[in-house]
């Protein structure tokens, strides 16, 4: 443990870079050499070298299971049983505990938020390093003042006394970064920080990252999104199967080359040809209203009507808070009495009632968070996959026909290309992409007519993403229909036959597949039908 006082500043001083930010000539802030790490008998990192310079954003890329998280967990002190050399600011280190890494100036922001929901913003910012007076009492006023400064710095319109649970997820994500900054970190590790953010919020985050880079901080950025790598990173380091594939300056590594590095083969992510759509409607929605959680006559979804045709992939775009997710949850019956509207499913009147009834009628919802509302982590692959269709595999008295059940899951997961140690292993032992396949399998096993998919590729690596795209195209060609929400614009444009854009609970625009650009969707989702530049200016003025 460090013998420094609690208020010790950054573990080393950093000389700010010149305006051109020349790289490679300074001593690296973090240097990892020949890092090896094994879980039991299985070695997952086979001698990886990794450097970050001060004043640099280094993207760490690779598919799920490539070893990115393991490497980061070694750097942040989560794992201490590794071999190899770790140097921070020129000093050899071997962190035995995350606190030691934090004291050395390394702040890691994991995908899962580590805020305490029932505590205020200020309390969270200073959690574990409270400002205390002489007798150990917390000095709330100075803490609040300091919190205010941090929030202003982050351009967040939040008061320090707000409870974290009352804030949207995106703001919480920014707070998490604020907390790291409040600790005077010199190395910032961001693990998929934008997975819960919309484009606008991601923009705020990117601005902050650029500012931090110019302050001389080193930033390690992990993401699956190509556009983010090319917007932000100065340098890209790619891991595959626990080995270093290479590192290159971003401007010298073309995107398709990067994908080849990551996957080890060429990936074609083109928009497939679609046959002509059937005109037959699958889901007709008219005057759908979803009341605000607090009621008070406010509506998150404020009267929208649309039709999803058979065999169609219909995109539903919109910023966080525009009501897209609520449309899906509302239709599925997950929001209870907050929802009103008339719905017809394959021509039949459909009363929005409750999830079990919707599943029975063939309308299913894949939520955007498989961890909290998707999978049951302790249950096995089979048990998770068959959860929604159990009545098909059990007798009238509820006796489960296990061999039939396992057989059905095996057939479907083989078709999905699921990679699991065993179908009877807890689903939590699978990688993110494979978990998502199990979640998708659950719904396919119910033989649905209409799939509501909310971010079906969130937190999924490129290989699995391509698989999911292929599956979705296969389903619609078999006559199912998909309503799709995705925060990845490329995905939206490549997959959807039509795109609806929501803004503040209303439908703002509708685009056909061949006549839509990214800018169109973005500006419509910000409430403008003009080019995107005007939209941004309009918002700041």
Partner 1 sequence: MIIIGCLFNADGSFFRWSVHRDMLRQVSVFGILACGMTVVIITAGIDLSVSSVLALGAVFFAWFTLPLGWPAVYAIPAVLAIGLGLGSVSGFLVARMRIQPFIVTLAMMVFARGFAKVVSGGQKVTNYVMQPDGSAELIEHSPIFSLIDSRILGGNISVVTIIFAVCVFVTWVVLARLRLGRHIYAVGSNEEAARLSGVPVRRTLISAYAISGLLAAVAGICQAAQETQGDPETGSAYELDAIAMVVIGGTTLAGGKGSVVLTLIGVLTIGYLQKILSLNAAPEATRLMLTGAIIVCAVMFQKGKR
Which helix (H) or strand (E) segment holds residue 469: the answer is: helix 462-477
- The residue among 126 and 443 lying less far from partner 1, judged by its C-beta, is 443
Measured from the CB of residue 428, what is the shortest distance to partner 1 in angstroms? 9
Q: Could you tell me which stretch among 100-108, 218-226, 385-393, 457-465 binds partner 1 (CB under 8 A)?
A: 385-393
- The residue among 443 and 503 lying less far from partner 1, judged by its C-beta, is 443
What are the residues facing 121 on neighbouring strands? none
Q: Is 359 in the site for partner 1 (CB under 8 A)?
A: yes
The three-state DSSP-derived secondary structure of 158-170 is: CCCCCEHHHCCHH
454 Ramachandran zone, left/alpha/beta (phi>0; psi -120 to 50):
beta
Q: Could you tell me which stretch among 78-86, 175-183, 220-228, 359-367 binds partner 1 (CB under 8 A)?
A: 359-367
Which helix (H) or strand (E) segment holds residue 86: the answer is: strand 82-88
- The residue among 100 and 357 lying less far from partner 1, judged by its C-beta, is 357
What are the residues facing 484 on neighbouring strands? 315, 453
Measured from the CB of residue 356, what is the shortest distance to partner 1 in angstroms? 4
Measured from the CB of residue 179, what is the shortest distance to partner 1 in angstroms? 27
- The residue among 335 and 476 lying less far from partner 1, judged by its C-beta, is 335
The count of residues interacting with partner 1 (CB under 8 A) is 30
Measured from the CB of residue 242, what is the shortest distance to partner 1 in angstroms? 23
Beta-carbon contacts of 503 under 8 Å, excluding residues fewer than 6 positions away, are: 318, 319, 322, 524, 525, 526, 527
Which helix (H) or strand (E) segment holds residue 24: the answer is: none
- The residue among 339 and 462 lying less far from partner 1, judged by its C-beta, is 339
* Tokens of residue 508, six digits: 């703002």
Q: Is 378 in the site for partner 1 (CB under 8 A)?
A: yes
Subset of residues 314 to 333 that bind partner 1, contact rule: CB under 8 A: 332
Q: Is 394 in the site for partner 1 (CB under 8 A)?
A: yes
- The residue among 212 and 438 lying less far from partner 1, judged by its C-beta, is 438
- The residue among 38 and 387 lying less far from partner 1, judged by its C-beta, is 387
Please pick, from the candidates 238, 388, 438, 444, the single residue that binds partner 1 as defined by CB under 8 A: 388
Distance CA 219, CA 177 (A): 12
Please pick, from the candidates 372, 403, 540, 541, the single residue that binds partner 1 as defined by CB under 8 A: 372
Q: Is 118 in the site for partner 1 (CB under 8 A)?
A: no
Task: Give the C-alpha distances (Å, rounded to integers) separating 121 from 147, 162, 178, 183, 221.
Answer: 8, 6, 10, 15, 25
Measured from the CB of residue 361, what is the shortest distance to partner 1 in angstroms? 11
Max Cα-Cα span within the chain: 75
Q: Could you tell me which stretch among 153-161, 195-203, 246-254, 364-372 binds partner 1 (CB under 8 A)?
A: 364-372
* Tokens of residue 244, six digits: 């270093």
Measured from the CB of residue 400, what is the shortest distance to partner 1 in angstroms? 6
- The residue among 393 and 511 lying less far from partner 1, judged by its C-beta, is 393
Q: Could you tell me which stretch among 174-182, 380-388, 465-473, 499-507 binds partner 1 (CB under 8 A)?
A: 380-388
Measured from the CB of residue 35, what is the shortest distance to partner 1 in angstroms? 25
Please pick, from the candidates 102, 365, 430, 501, the single residue that binds partner 1 as defined by CB under 8 A: 365
Distance CA 371, CA 363 (A): 21
Measured from the CB of residue 370, what is the shortest distance to partner 1 in angstroms? 8
- The residue among 170 and 358 lying less far from partner 1, judged by its C-beta, is 358
Distance CA 258, CA 237 (A): 10
Q: Is 98 in the site for partner 1 (CB under 8 A)?
A: no
Give the rounded distance of the alpha carbon of 346 from its chain centre: 33
Measured from the CB of residue 94, what is the shortest distance to partner 1 in angstroms? 24
Subset of residues 430 to 469 that bind partner 1, contact rule: CB under 8 A: 442
Among candidate residues 254, 270, 251, the one with its CA nearest the CA of residue 262: 254
Q: Could you tell me which stretch among 85-93, 187-195, 305-313, 376-384 binds partner 1 (CB under 8 A)?
A: 376-384
Measured from the CB of residue 297, what is the shortest distance to partner 1 in angstroms? 25
Contact 323, 301 (CB under 8 A): yes
Please pick, from the candidates 56, 63, 302, 383, the single residue that binds partner 1 as defined by CB under 8 A: 383
Measured from the CB of residue 445, what is the shortest distance to partner 1 in angstroms? 11
Q: Is 429 in the site for partner 1 (CB under 8 A)?
A: no
Q: What angle do CA 166, 169, 174 make, to 5 degrees?
A: 105
Q: Is 334 in the site for partner 1 (CB under 8 A)?
A: yes
Distance CA 443, CA 451 (A): 8
Distance CA 381, CA 94 (A): 37
Q: What is the dihedral sign for C-alpha 517, 519, 524, 530?
A: negative
Q: Is 313 in the site for partner 1 (CB under 8 A)?
A: no
Q: Rounded to the nearest 5°, which phi and psi values hold at 474?
A: -65, -45
Query: CB-hemisphere CA count at 13 Å for 383?
Result: 11
- The residue among 149 and 402 lying less far from partner 1, judged by its C-beta, is 402
Distance CA 251, CA 272 (A): 29
Measured from the CB of residue 117, what is the shortest distance to partner 1 in angstroms? 15
Distance CA 207, CA 194 (A): 13
Q: What is the dihedral sign for C-alpha 376, 380, 384, 389?
A: negative
Give the rounded distance of the alpha carbon of 420 from its chain centre: 22
Among candidate residues 229, 271, 273, the one with its CA nearest the CA of residue 253: 229
Q: Is 300 in the site for partner 1 (CB under 8 A)?
A: no
- The residue among 311 and 374 lying less far from partner 1, judged by its C-beta, is 374
Residues in touch with partner 1 (CB under 8 A): 332, 334, 355-360, 365, 367, 372-379, 383, 387-388, 390-391, 394, 397-400, 402, 442
């Amino acid at each position: 443990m460090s013998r420094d006082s609690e208020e010790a500043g950054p573990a080393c001083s950093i000389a700010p870079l010149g305006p051109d930010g020349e790289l490679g000539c300074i001593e690296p802030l973090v240097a990892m050499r020949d890092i090896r790490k094994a879980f039991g008998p299985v070695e997952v990192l086979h001698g990886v070298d990794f450097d970050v310079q001060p004043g640099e954003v280094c993207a760490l890329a690779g598919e799920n299971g490539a070893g990115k998280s393991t490497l980061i967990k070694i750097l942040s002190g989560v794992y201490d049983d590794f071999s190899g050399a770790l140097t921070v600011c020129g000093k050899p280190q071997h962190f035995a505990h995350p606190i030691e890494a934090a004291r050395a100036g390394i702040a890691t922001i994991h995908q899962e938020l580590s805020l305490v929901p029932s505590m205020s913003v200020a309390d969270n910012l200073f959690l574990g390093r409270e400002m205390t007076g002489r007798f150990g009492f917390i000095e709330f006023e100075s803490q609040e003042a300091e919190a205010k400064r941090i929030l202003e710095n982050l351009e967040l319109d939040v008061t320090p006394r707000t409870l974290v649970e009352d804030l949207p997820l995106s703001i919480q994500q920014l707070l998490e970064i604020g907390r790291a900054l409040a600790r005077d970190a010199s190395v910032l590790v961001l693990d998929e920080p934008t997975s819960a953010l919309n484009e606008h919020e991601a923009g705020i985050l990117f601005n902050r990252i650029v500012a931090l880079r110019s302050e001389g901080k080193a930033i390690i950025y992990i993401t699956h999104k190509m556009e983010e790598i090319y917007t932000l990173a100065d340098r890209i380091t790619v891991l595959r199967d626990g080995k270093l594939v290479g590192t290159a300056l971003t401007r010298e590594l073309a995107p398709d080359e990067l994908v080849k590095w990551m996957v080890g083969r060429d990936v074609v992510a083109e928009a497939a040809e679609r046959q002509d759509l059937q005109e037959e409607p699958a889901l007709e929605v008219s005057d759908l209203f979803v009341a605000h959680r607090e009621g008070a006559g406010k509506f998150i979804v404020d009267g929208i009507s649309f039709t999803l045709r058979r065999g169609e992939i219909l995109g539903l775009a919109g910023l966080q808070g525009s009501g897209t997710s609520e449309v899906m949850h509302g239709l599925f019956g997950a929001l209870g009495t907050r929802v009103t509207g008339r719905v017809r499913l394959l021509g039949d009147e459909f009363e929005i009632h409750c999830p079990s009834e919707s599943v029975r009628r063939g309308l299913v919802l894949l939520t955007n968070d498989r961890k909290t509302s998707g999978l049951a982590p302790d249950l096995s692959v089979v048990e998770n996959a068959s959860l929604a269709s159990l009545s098909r595999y059990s007798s009238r008295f509820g006796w489960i026909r296990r061999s039939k059940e396992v057989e059905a899951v095996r057939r479907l997961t083989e078709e999905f290309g699921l990679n699991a140690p065993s179908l009877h292993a807890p689903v939590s032992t699978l990688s993110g992409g494979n978990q998502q396949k199990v979640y998708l399998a659950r719904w396919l096993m119910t033989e649905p007519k209409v799939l509501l998919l909310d971010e079906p590729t969130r937190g999924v690596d490129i290989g699995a993403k391509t698989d999911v795209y292929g599956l979705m195209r296969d389903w619609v060609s078999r006559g199912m229909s998909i309503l799709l929400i995705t925060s990845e614009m490329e995905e939206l444009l490549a997959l959807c036959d039509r795109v609806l854009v929501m803004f503040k609970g209303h439908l703002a625009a509708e685009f056909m597949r061949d006549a839509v650009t990214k800018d169109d969707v973005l500006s419509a989702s910000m409430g403008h039908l003009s080019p995107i530049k005007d939209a941004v200016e309009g918002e700041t003025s």
